[in-house]
Structures are given as C-alpha cells and as structure tokens.
Amino acid sequence: MLGSALVGTRRLELRGGDITTIVADVIVNAANSGLRGGGGVDGAIHHAAGPGLIAELRDRYASTPTGTAVITGAHGLAARWVIHAVGPAWRGGERKEAALLASAYRASLALADEVGARSVAFPAISCGIFGFPLAEAAAIALETVLMHLAGPTTVELVTFVLRGAEVQRAFLRALDRTETPVDGSTVNPDNVGQD
C-alpha cells in the first residue's frame, strides 16, 4: 500500500496495481462520454469484463455528459458493479475542468450509495489521455472522496488504484497535503512504482 487516511471508521487507500483485478463492490471506469470503450483504463476494464459490459451499455445508455456517471453490472470483473465516470479533458483550466472532475467523482460516489456499495475502487480519472495535470487532479480526487467519506454514506472503503510512479507520487503528495480533516494518515513513498 502506498498510503491511507481514516475518516472516522471509513478508510481511503492508495495502491498500485491493476484495477481490473481488485475485489470491490464497485470498480469505477474512467470512461468517455460515448460509453463505448476506449484506451487506457477504459479499454482494460472493457477487455476484462467481457462483451456483456458493452452490450449492457448499448442497451441502457446512449451517452452521458462530462462530469456525470452511469452504472452497469460488472460482468467478468471481481465486483458487483462498474460505474462509468466521465471526467474532463484538460483544455488549459478555463473550461471548468476542476469542477467537472470533482463532479465525476461525486456522481460515482452517489451511485455507489444508491446501490448500497461498501467498497469502491477508483482509477486516476482524467489523468491519462485526457491530460489533466496530475497534482491538481490528485488533490481534487482526494478532497472530493474524503469529504464524501465524512458525510452520510454506505461506502466504508475507497481504494485508488494507481498506475505508474508519476501518478502514484502525485496522489501521495496530495494525501500528505490534504486540507480535509482526517483521523490519521500514512504515506509510504518507498512503495512508489511497485504496480
């Protein structure tokens, strides 16, 4: 584990690894608004889940706007549900990218609460091909999730599954600097890069 924080009895964890192998009630997919699969995390989740995932998306949803999320079954994944969150592409910061990214995380957590999920695994939304600056994206992600864990929620554990040393370092720094009150946190920088 890279790091963790406690909010009351609820826990946030940072881990390296492959999100498609995580056992959780919900795995969040960093989707595009067309909801038809793509590269990076989106492609890996679609590949691991199998053809039932894209079939369910086609049957239930035409698309979803940036800053929102939709939910499906998990099909071939070790989860009950997949939440498909659409984060923004970075366009210089003048197109409400920060608010849209926070909204994508909030929408995902709201859906997790609707289905009674107790554990949620997130990737670093918008940090791949969408090009969001890592330090800002990590701070937004952690602040949004920690605030949610501090309120009424069914979620007891949120795990960020982070690929690559640069992303891992950005999330560790953001956790170390979080302004959200936590009941304790640990940071293990020696584990960076160990996916």
Find the CATH number of the domain harbouring 124.
Answer: 3.40.220.10
Quote the pLDDT of residue 29: 98
- In angstroms, the CA 90 to CA 83 distance is 21
Q: What average pLDDT does the structure give for the chain?
A: 93
Among 25, 42, 176, 183, the active-site one is: 42
Check pLDDT > 60 for residue 34: yes
**Residue 111 above 60 pLDDT?**
yes
pLDDT computed for residue 102 by the predictor: 98
What domain range includes position 124?
3-178
Rounded to 10 degrees, what is the CA torsion of 75, 77, 78, 84? -90
Q: How many CB atoms lie within 10 A of CB 168?
A: 26
Residue 188 domain-assigned (yes or no): no
Structural domain includes residue 22: yes
Domains of the chain: total: 1
Looking at the domain assignment, is residue 138 inside a domain? yes
Work out the number of other CB atoms within 10 angstroms of the CB of residue 13: 17
- For the segment 26-35, the average pLDDT, to the nearest whole number, is 97
Residue 162, SS3?
A: strand
3 closest CA partner among 145, 192, 187: 187
Residue 92, strand partner residues: none
**pLDDT higher than threshold 70 for residue 25:** yes
pLDDT at 195 exceeding the cut of 60: no
pLDDT (average), residues 82-96: 96
- Any domain includes 120: yes
CA distance 19 to 37: 16
Establish whether 18 is a catalytic residue: no
Q: 93: which residues sit within 8 A by CB, 6+ positions away?
A: none
Q: What pLDDT sits at residue 1?
A: 87
Which amino acid is it at 107? Answer: A
194: in domain = no
At residue 193, the pLDDT reads 63
Provide the percentage of residues in the chain whose pLDDT is more than 70: 91
The answer to whether residue 183 is domain-embedded is: no
pLDDT tens string 152-192: 999 999 999 999 999 999 999 999 888 666 666 555 555 66
pTM of the complete model beyond 0.95: no
What mean pLDDT do residues 147-156 have? Answer: 96
Nearest Cα residue to 110 out of 52, 171, 154? 154
pLDDT confidence of residue 177 = 86
Give me the pLDDT at residue 189, please: 56
